[in-house]
Structure 1
Amino acid sequence: MAQEISISVIKRLPRYYRFLENLKDNGIVRISSKELAERMGLTASQIRHDFNCFGGFGQQGYGYNVPELYTKIGKILCVDAGVKTILIGAGNLGKAVASKIFTRQSGFKLVGIFDKNEAISGKIIQGIPVRHTNYLENFCIDNQPVCAVICIPSNDMKELTDMLCRLGIRSFWNFSNFDIAMAHPEVLVENVHLTDSLMTLSFLTSSSKEELEKISSAE
């Protein structure tokens, strides 16, 4: 892609993909940028700008072919890439992530699950046996995963991430509070801080209508 694409555009692509999937599943074959904008709470010019970053997909006077656009955005997002991924932490959160997220196309293929709890070792999650973390290094050497999902507390993260980066992990989906990007600026990190999100919602829920309007107008 010749032109620079902002991270905000990239972060909107999964939302477009999700909305288009819903439209496709409901039998809608054609949609204009105006109609799509109304459904998504965006502007038609914003949608056209975002799609033009990737060459543009619509036809003048016709709009967008929904199944075709859905497929093209899926290709941009590399949903079929099957990037080898390991998950560290097979507790409640880890099981939920493995069971709900990796059951559909996401661009990643879960190939290994690890936990230091002996009682969990050997259990099967989504057809994958949970291995003790003692086997993590050898597994990575043999299977060469490039992404790790972290679903454990921050206590042991420094040593763990040092080892994973040394073993070739290039990206992290991080559910812990450990700042992987600070320790390893060379890797890609997508942080998911559930409590941060909940506290933000708590603040907004407790704010008055006038306060919310001020927040919105300041964006």
Structure 2
Amino acid sequence: MCSLARFRNVCKSCIVKYLQSSKNCPQCGIKIHETQPLSGLKADNVMQDIVYKLVTNLFENEEKRKEEFCKSRGINVAKELNEADQNVPLTSVYDSPTGHHYSNDELVSLCLERDSLLLPLQNINGQPVHIPPLDRKFIRCSTRTRIAHVKKLLRKKLVLSQSLKLTISCSEASGLDDNWNLKQIWLQHWLDKDPPLILYYAISSS
């Protein structure tokens, strides 16, 4: 591989199409790889975020095209993700305070706050239900984390019964869909704000 190829920013669709007919770097002409030129491609998340910010509605349009692609082929992404979650135990840095967990994913700083505008909870007998606050409300996790994962974490840490309804909101967006990931939420509702990304959780009777 040429010495500068790994530092060049190019459009993914353009370079993939180019490498279908050539194994050489389009700028310097040096061969990238004899058999697998695509193996040298890496995502530049910082540059991607800049492009999303500069090009209006680009992210939303990409998500819409993904949905249309899945629908045209009868792929129910939400169902497949939910079924996969049922068989995967919830693990978290909460469960291992002294451990260190590393990931190649892009990470986001998250703050989980309880919605203070809600009325106190009551059980079916009219007695108040006490929900303790989170012992640690700041976490750092992958941008691929979905709202469903956040809810699962909250239910475990707050020991919530299934009879209680849990909703997540962010800024002006209330009742976020379970299939939304933190990347989508950040780009659409928190792009011009300082970290951490603040999510408000509300607990109510079903």
TM-score by length of 1: 0.25
Query: Which has the higher Rg, Structure 1 or Structure 2?
Result: 2
